[in-house]
Structure 1
Amino acid sequence: MTATSSHNQTDASRSDAPTQSDSPTQARGVKPLLGLSLAELTEWVQQQGQPAYRGKQLHQWIYQQGARSLADISVFSKQWRSQVAEVPIGRSQLHYRSAAPDGTVKFLLRMQDGQIIETVGIPTEKRLTVCVSSQVGCPMACDFCATGKGGFIRNLATHEIVDQVLTVQEDFGQRVSNIVFMGMGEPLLNVENVLVAVRSLNTDVGIGQRSITISTVGIPGHIRRLADQHLQATLAISLHAPNQALREQLIPSARHYPLSALLEECRDYVKQTGRRVTFEYILLGNLNDRPEHADELAQELHGFQSHVNLIPYNPIKEVDYERPTPRRIQAFVKALQDRHIAVSVRRSRGLEADAACGQLRASQIKISA
């Protein structure tokens, strides 16, 4: 996903590309409580002169009962609540909500500084998955992406990431089972906050790491950095092309990261973690969905502990790419299967209008402008 004003472009080839990594609240030195662990919350309440057991109460009210301010926590004395009234928990405000007939719900959430991000709740019979954003906008400028057409504003802070999951969980009235970092932004350009958020979502919210997926187009050196964390989360690579030339056409930042180097880093990731890599491949009609493309992709992934997730394209107004026909999709699948490549097709979920990542946010910003 991605969106906003297209004037703030960044050289996405640099590992430190987005430098605005903190939210405005953090910049003023008032750190929100959301995202802090039980130990950190316990330390904080003790610093405020409260007994240690208040930390466990605070943790429960934030993560299980959805408190949006310290004033909501009735087990604390009114006197102490008034003393810490200015300390934010770090919850967002709902700006817009749009539900699709299949039950998928898109949320536009307003941050404290007025920036708007998009998150999605995707229910199935057995699961509730949240598609989480990691940045306001995105610097990667992928040509087929609605978010990439909007430019980059800033990184999301840890509490702004965790808040998305709590928001969806509260709206659906059921526990979130899976999280995918496939919303607005490039997670590995906000890796510090993303890693802390993964820890919080795992230990505080109670979502298993194996049920968390981190999706990236690939930032040089950062996949190895992720491997060093020894997470149980799934790594998903937004590949979208079987060769360097076509990948550069679709993903401008790919010119700084040759496909061969990206795949070598992925192989190192598999060796170090023992976990397979998922390769996401958006199928664009008559562009990257031909039999020869399937052949190239199979050759690149031969002997690789991996899985290919094919994603039929959701058209956006800004570009003329087409969704492939069902026959082309099935032919691509068969070509990979014949070459013993594990493959699946992601079923489209969501809105009939503004279905692609970032489109809902972009359309609402235009309306309010």
Structure 2
Amino acid sequence: MTANLLEFDLEGLAVFCEGLGEKRFRATQLFRWIHQRGASDFDQMSDLAKSLREKLKSTAHIAALPVVSQHISQDGTIKWLFDVGDGNAVESVFIPEDDRGTLCVSSQAGCAVGCRFCSTGHQGFSRNLGTAEILAQLWFAEHFLRRHLQTDERVISNVVMMGMGEPLQNYTALIPALKVMLDDHGYGLSRRRVTVSTSGVVPMIDRLAQDCPVALAVSLHAPNDALRDSLVPLNRKYPIDELLQACERYLAHAPRDFITFEYCMLDGVNDQPEHARQLIELVQRHGRQGLRCKFNLIPFNPFPASGLLRSPQARVQAFAKILLDAGIVTTVRKTRGDDIDAACGQLAGDVKDRTRVQERMAQQRSAEIIRIRPVSN
């Protein structure tokens, strides 16, 4: 079986090329062709020696994930469903804004954490994605969008590992993927513009700080252990104080001088004034002058199995005001892609009914990808 070159960061690709008897600089040339130009045909790579191109044809390939479907929201958000084999599929979401283009990337097929408010978690866990499967989402989306928008400029400026799965439970595949995103010969993204979101895998937060520190977002969702235990089961293993201590340690290495706390607003569950005051006390007792952080309040996207409702907007704003009055930077996330189930916590969509997904995969393999209208960026 030939190697999918999307599996390698630059160092891994250099080792692969050396195994073919080639100099390391050839890996840089090849890396640029793959990631900067989106090439998948070795014959396109005109500055590579013909002898190397022939070697690559027999030992390697560059393969995106098959696209099962793509949907476009009225607000310009695009959601892709990718086939990762054995009846499994993962989703990626592109969110265009005036000053950035953000791609939300999946790291697992399903999720084992099982947060109560997340529809993705309710479908269960199938498997980890490989590095090539993580990067294939970015590789496909970036070069599809460049062709679609008829531009040679980079379209995706930010990547958030906030799609399906818990990234830090797939650490071995995650780190090489992050390195490709950051590499100037790859996508050249700033560490500040690549975000790993975690539900709180404490030992891996510490490892990430040493191996590849990028922006960190922590799915907090509750101000105390009793409530968080019921919403985020991982809290029973890594309770809040332990998690916030890891966040303190991470700040010494982080490209940003704050940690983002994600907080999904659930009607009557975690959205009361006393919950906001507990959050203030929580962050103030960590660090010398309180933990440097930002809160991102997320409107809940209801689904039947959760038994939960979205907090009223007035209550969300009142909650935000309590945090802001205490000097804590707080934003309320604008919902995007609701009409195509691409909003936060909704990335289960078509994956939930596996029989239906397999049927659609079979149909799509012989059909053209749906054509979509231009997206403003």
Please give the TM-score of this superposition, normalised by the length of structure 2.
0.83
Aligned to 1:330: 317
Alignment of 1:271-290 (within 5 A): 271=252, 273=254, 275-290=257-272
Q: Deviations over 1:223-271 (max 9, x none)?
A: 222222362x111110001111111111122111211211122122224
From 7, 12, 20, the counterpart of 1:48: 20
Give yes or no for contact 2:73–2:340 (8 Å, CA) kept in 1. no
Q: 1:182 is aligned with what amino acid?
A: M
Aligned to 2:174: 194
Deviation at 1:282, TM superposition (A): 0.3
Alignment of 1:211-226 (within 5 A): 211-226=193-208
Deviation at 1:360, TM superposition (A): 2.2
From 154, 159, 163, the counterpart of 1:183: 163
From 253, 257, 275, the counterpart of 2:238: 257
Aligned to 2:297: 310
The farther-off stretch of 339-348 and 265-274 is: 265-274
Q: 1:193 is aligned with what amino acid?
A: A
DSSP 3-state at the match of 1:111: strand
Assess, with a 3 A threshold, how the Cα gap between structure 1 residues 360 and 41 changes in structure 2: closer, same or farther: same
The farther-off stretch of 349-358 and 126-135 is: 349-358
Assess, with a 3 A threshold, how the Cα gap between structure 1 residues 152 and 70 changes in structure 2: closer, same or farther: farther
**Does 1:132 find its partner at 2:105?**
yes
DSSP 3-state at the match of 2:338: coil
Distance in 1, matches of 2:88 and 2:41, equals 20
Aligned to 2:370: none
Deviation at 1:43, TM superposition (A): 4.5
Distance in 2, matches of 1:149 and 1:112, equals 20
Backbone CA RMSD of aligned residues: 2.4
The farther-off stretch of 325-334 and 352-361 is: 352-361
Assess, with a 3 A threshold, how the Cα gap between structure 1 residues 38 and 177 changes in structure 2: closer, same or farther: same
Aligned to 2:151: none
Give yes or no for contact 1:279–1:306 (8 Å, CA) kept in 2. yes
Aligned to 1:21: none
**Does 1:210 find its partner at 2:192?**
yes
**Structure 2: segments with no counterpart, 5+ residues:** 147-153, 285-289, 359-377
Give yes or no for contact 1:139–1:152 (8 Å, CA) kept in 2. yes
Distance in 1, matches of 2:340 and 2:94, equals 16
Deviation at 1:137, TM superposition (A): 0.9
The farther-off stretch of 237-246 and 264-273 is: 264-273
Deviation at 1:170, TM superposition (A): 2.0
**Structure that is richer in helix per residue:** 2
**Does 1:67 find its partner at 2:47?**
no
Distance in 1, matches of 2:234 and 2:11, equals 40
**Does 1:235 find its partner at 2:216?**
yes
The farther-off stretch of 212-221 and 44-53 is: 44-53
* Identity within the alignment, %: 37
Distance in 1, matches of 2:84 and 2:54, equals 23
Give yes or no for contact 2:118–2:346 (8 Å, CA) kept in 1. yes
Q: 1:361 is aligned with what amino acid?
A: D
Deviation at 1:295, TM superposition (A): 0.9
Distance in 1, matches of 2:331 and 2:322, equals 12
Give yes or no for contact 1:234–1:275 (8 Å, CA) kept in 2. no
DSSP 3-state at the match of 1:197: helix
Q: Deviations over 1:339-369 (max 9, x none)?
A: 2211111100113142443232325645335
Deviation at 1:323, TM superposition (A): 1.1
Deviation at 1:42, TM superposition (A): 4.5
Deviation at 1:164, TM superposition (A): 1.0
Distance in 1, matches of 2:81 and 2:22, equals 37
Distance in 1, matches of 2:43 and 2:338, equals 37
DSSP 3-state at the match of 2:339: coil
**Does 1:367 find its partner at 2:340?**
no
Number of residue pairs matched by the alignment: 340
**Does 1:84 find its partner at 2:57?**
yes
From 74, 82, 89, the counterpart of 1:109: 82
Assess, with a 3 A threshold, how the Cα gap between structure 1 residues 230 and 95 changes in structure 2: closer, same or farther: closer
DSSP 3-state at the match of 1:34: helix
DSSP 3-state at the match of 1:68: coil
Give yes or no for contact 2:101–2:157 (8 Å, CA) kept in 1. yes
Give yes or no for contact 2:88–2:354 (8 Å, CA) kept in 1. no
Distance in 1, matches of 2:230 and 2:79, equals 29
Distance in 2, matches of 1:72 and 1:364, equals 40
Distance in 1, matches of 2:52 and 2:159, equals 38
Q: 1:104 is aligned with what amino acid?
A: T
Give yes or no for contact 2:71–2:340 (8 Å, CA) kept in 1. no
Deviation at 1:165, TM superposition (A): 1.1
Aligned to 1:164: 137
Deviation at 1:44, TM superposition (A): 3.1
Give yes or no for contact 2:79–2:94 (8 Å, CA) kept in 1. yes
DSSP 3-state at the match of 2:221: coil
